[in-house]
Structure 1
Amino acid sequence: MAKKKKQKLPGAKSLIAVLIILLVFGMGYWWYKLSEPDFVRYDAFGIEIPSNFSIHGIDVSKYQQRINWGAVKEMEVEDVKIGFAFIKATEGLGRVDAHFARNWEKSRDAGITRGAYHFFLAPKNGALQAENFIRTVELMPGDLPPVLDVEQTYGVSAEKLRAEVKAFLETVETHYGIRPIIYTNVDFYNKYLKGDFDQYPLWVAHYLQKDRPRITRNWAFWQYSETGNVNGIRGKVDFNVFNGDSSDFEDLLID
């Protein structure tokens, strides 16, 4: 009698493939979870702060009124202190923030690394907006690069928005000799700026959810909360972290 051939288990190769896929996805998930920042509650700051970062900062404008920069500098809770501040300087073609001059001077006097930003109005000429910023802001060695805050279209086309943003950035870079930083939120960047401005350092706004900014490109700063408290400042203030160590931070500053 002929011997029966040994039958292979049905679907063995498929089963192995499924197991491999599950293993890969499982490893990817745990890598993602491990790479997420841990948030720790600091009652003195009034918010939860991501502990995976060592350099913390704030951004301010006239809405924070008269700031005691010495008190801001002196505040330190466990391992968290304010190491940098972005300060609103200008808006549109001719507006200057009412508290900029004082904030700009006093933050430096207090020993806080400072940066200045311009609030962009998309319907207005980008180069002329840059001139408003240049007239107002004198950058010095040790300052952060200039920042363009662009987060609204005001009804203009995406093409016009990008053209005016480009004009602003190029004018500012030519004057100061350093590449500006772009500030915006994840959705706005992906919809209007992605692909055309990826070479610029990014300061990205993304809060309410406890994870890193959901953006595929690299980023330098992350604004993760708008409800923080800091000694020397009345009312709420935005909190940020720098994505790097002290050496990376120094490399970003103006020589």
Structure 2
Amino acid sequence: MRYKNENQWTYVQRFGIRLPLRYGIHGIDVSHHNARIQWDKLKAAKAENVRMDFVYIKATEGATHLDRQFDRNWREAKRVGIRRGAYHFYNPRVYSDQQAAHFIKRVVMEPGDLPPVLDLEIEAGKPAEIIIKGVANWLTIVEKHYGIRPVIYTNEHFYKKFIAGNFDEYPLWLAGYSRTQIDDLSENSNVLLWQHSEKGYVDGIKGFVDFNVFLHDDETWQRVGSPE
């Protein structure tokens, strides 16, 4: 267990939450739930040497759903110069190859973009073996298409139930809103990102937004992304 404030938790009024200032690379994830984002204001937002260094944008869900803000968000993130990545919300009820094809059809990655993400946070009444098999298939298809290994986003419960022991070679993005619950897992070098709050604020977005940090150094950050 780390000392109480080893992550340098500091309340930053502009963002409305405590931030782990131990880490230097901060970002958010967005979807249509964040409505129409004012990207120039988002780009300019800064406090305590923290700015939005990256944004993950919801692209697809299941085999047919395209987030209604994706095309605009994807385009605008590039325009203002915030490093971007796209994620797919996985639905265990839907054939995984159809879900992968849907994501690939909608997301055109460019050099410098962050790796694609599979968001696993619902079971939809399916047994574990079906979920694991489907996730494996999605990851394989998407990696083959883009030439880069996808990241798995999940919470601690789903990590222990579906990911650990099955997808140990994949990079992870873990959600955990307790200041200590993620500590043991974050020592795993495969854990790239930590979603530490779902109740932050940032200029350009109305209402709450998820805040994340990159858990490694700047040199590693530069290596994370799509092939040139």
* TM-score, shorter chain, exceeding 0.5: yes
* One of 199, 217, 227 as aligned partner of 1:245: 217
Cα-to-partner distance string for 1:80-109 (whole Å, 9 max, x where unaligned): 100000000000011000000000000110
Which residue of the partner structure matches residue 94 of structure 1? Answer: 64
Cα distance in 1 for partners of 2:87, 2:60 equals: 7
Rounded to whole Å, the distance in 1 between the matches of 2:199 and 2:149 is: 30
Say whether residues 1:45 and 2:45 are aligned partners: no
SS in 1 for 2:102: helix
CA deviation after TM superposition for structure 1 residue 212, in Å: 3.9
1:34 deviation in Å? Answer: 7.2
Larger of the two Rg values belongs to structure: 1
Task: Please list the CA deviations of residues 139-182 of structure 1 after superposition, one character each: whole Å capped at 9, or x if unmatched.
Answer: 00010000000011111110000000011000000100100000
Quote the residue 1:144 is aligned against: 114
**How far apart, in 2, do the equivalents of 1:87 and 1:235 lie?**
17
Among candidates 53, 69, 72, match of residue 39 of structure 2: 69
> Letter of the aligned partner of 1:130 in structure 2?
A
User: Secondary structure at the residue paired with 1:237?
Assistant: strand
State the match for 2:162 in structure 1: 192
List alignment gaps of at least 5 residues for structure 2. Answer: none
- Matching of residues 67-146 of structure 1 within 5 Å: 67-146=37-116
* 1:13-24 to 2 correspondences below 5 Å: none
Q: Distance in 1 between the 2:36 and 2:179 partners?
A: 31
Q: Distance in 2 between matches of 1:167 and 1:158?
A: 14
**2:188 paired residue number:** 217
> Residue 175 of structure 1 is aligned with which of 145, 161, 166?
145
Q: Distance in 2 between matches of 1:124 and 1:253?
A: 28
Measure, in 1, the Cα distance between the counterparts of 2:196 and 2:65: 27
Paired with 1:102 and 1:184, the residues of 2 have a C-alpha distance of 25
* Percent identity (aligned): 44
Q: In the TM superposition, what is the alpha-carbon distance from 1:210 to its structure 2 partner? A: 4.6
Aligned to 1:231: 203
Asked if 2 retains the 8 angstrom alpha-carbon contact of 1:181 and 1:203, the reply is yes
Q: Secondary structure at the match of 2:198?
A: strand
Q: Is the 8 A contact 1:205 1:213 kept in 2?
A: no
* 1:33 aligned counterpart, secondary structure: coil
Is 1:59 the equivalent of 2:29?
yes
TM-score (norm 2): 0.95
Asked if the contact 1:198–1:217 (Cα under 8 Å) also holds between the matched residues in 2, the reply is: no
- 8 Å CA contact retained: 1:59, 1:239: yes
Q: 1:10: which partner in 2?
A: none
1:43-77 Cα distance to aligned partner (Å, 9 max, x none): 11000000100000000000101001111111111
Aligned CA RMSD, in angstroms, stands at: 1.4
CA contact 2:26–2:214 (8 Å) conserved in 1: yes
Structure 1: any 5+ residue segments left out of the alignment?
1-28
The whole-number CA distance in structure 2 between the counterparts of 1:210 and 1:181 is 22
> 1:3 — aligned with what?
none
CA pair 226-108 structure 1, distance change in 2 beyond 3 A: same
Cα distance in 1 for partners of 2:218, 2:179 equals: 26
Q: 1:12 maps to which residue?
A: none
Letter in 1 for 2:49: D
**One-letter code of the match for 1:217?**
N
